Amino acid sequence: MGYHRAGFEVVGVDNKPQPHYPFPFLQMEALEAMDRLIRGEGLTFSNGETLYLKDFDAIHASPPCQLWSKSAKQWRIKGKVYPDYITPIRWRFFEIHCLYVIENVIEAPLIQPMILNGGDFGINIHRPRAFETNFHIPFRLNCQLKKPLKMGRTPTSDDVIQPVGHFAGVAEVGKRMGLIGLNQSELAQAIPPAYTEYIGKYLMKAVNKT
């Protein structure tokens, strides 16, 4: 949504159904989709349009984060093995020489990432995320938020909410993030569109220079 607000025509790829996704969508593994584009094949989206690599000005990737996230640490300690998706995605970006963004948790091994959080945009949401790009974005001073509300408590308007797991105040979180209509599970995986709208403004400048 943030990239749309920044002026891009957006399409999405995910390996799971996304019934509330507002743009043309293709259910497919992202790495498979990229490999098809690299081979010169097209991807056909839910609106019937088939797009090829030349049709994309930039690609944003949000790989699964369980290999690095704090929330999955307990499962890693118990022996659960999670694959590294960042490295193979980055190598594909290098191969096709496109403008790109990789988003992940702040613990992930991204290259010179910029960290954004809700406080940077006046949003009482604790959702720090790291963004690796191959184009210039002015670094913002991170606005430190006060400690997030303890999980399970009903939030007030002044509380900072951390929307992970089965958090309280689903409607309020959707309102604050600008993603009204998403359910609890979807919001727990989402980031505020303000993040990518900010990034998208500088991505658009990079696109116009190429």
Q: Is 156 a residue whose pLDDT tops 90?
A: no
Q: Is 131 a residue whose pLDDT tops 90?
A: yes
pLDDT, tens digit, 9 for 90 and up, residues 161-173: 777 767 767 888 8
Specify the pLDDT at position 66: 72
pLDDT, tens digit, 9 for 90 and up, residues 79-89: 766 788 999 99
pLDDT band at 148 (very low <50, low <70, confident <90, very high): low
The residue count of the chain comes to 210
Specify the pLDDT at position 168: 67
Total number of domains in the chain: 1
CA distance 162 to 206: 33
CA distance 43 to 50: 5
Q: Is 146 a residue whose pLDDT tops 70?
A: no
pTM, two decimal places: 0.87
pLDDT, tens digit, 9 for 90 and up, residues 42-89: 999 999 999 999 999 999 999 987 766 766 666 567 676 678 899 999
Q: What is the CATH number of the domain that holds 46?
A: 3.40.50.150
Evaluate the CA torsion angle 160, 166, 169, 171 in order and state its sign: positive
Contacting residues for 45 by C-beta, under 8 A, at least 6 apart: 11, 24, 25, 26, 51
- Give residue 201's domain range: 2-209
Q: Is 40 a residue whose pLDDT tops 80?
A: yes
pLDDT band at 174 (very low <50, low <70, confident <90, very high): confident
What average pLDDT does range 87-110 have in this prediction?
Answer: 94
Specify the pLDDT at position 132: 96
